[in-house]
Amino acid sequence: MGHPVHHHKINYIEFAATEIARVKEFYGAVFGWKFQEYGPDYVSFSAAEAAVDGGFYKTGPHDPLSKSAPLVVLYSADLKATEAAIVASGGSIVVPTFEFPGGRRFHFADPVGNVLAVWSE
């Protein structure tokens, strides 16, 4: 099931961007990152250039900070078991499990309010 060696490790990070084209231009020029587009509101970059896989999602200029803070994404070889452990340990699910190209994920808040995500194939 999944990639046991990556189980519960930081695997991906997402950043907000009010202008996807501008952020691609900036990170491409400064750091040499290359991007994969997933529609007009999302681009990803790879660990080959950035040391960790990640992406930029479109956000509005007046969105609250909670919609523009970086999102750390952990990997789980067993998404349901990880979700159950989070809830049993005092965390809460803030975005229920949803599908995206390549897998499924949910977002959770830890007991002090930090929001992270967990994904699996």
Domains of the chain: 4-120 (3.10.180.10)
User: pLDDT per residue over 105-121, tens digit each?
Assistant: 999 999 878 899 999 99
pTM: 0.83
State residue 66's pLDDT score: 63
Looking at residue 65, its pLDDT comes to 64
pLDDT of the residue at 113: 87
CA 117 to chain CA mean position, Å: 6
Could you give the CA distance from residue 15 to residue 52 in angstroms, rounded to a whole number? 13
pLDDT tens digits, one per residue of 32-83:
999 999 999 999 999 999 999 999 999 888 887 667 789 999 999 999 999 9
| The pLDDT value given to residue 1 | 54
Q: What angle do CA 121, 12, 82 make, to 5 degrees?
A: 50
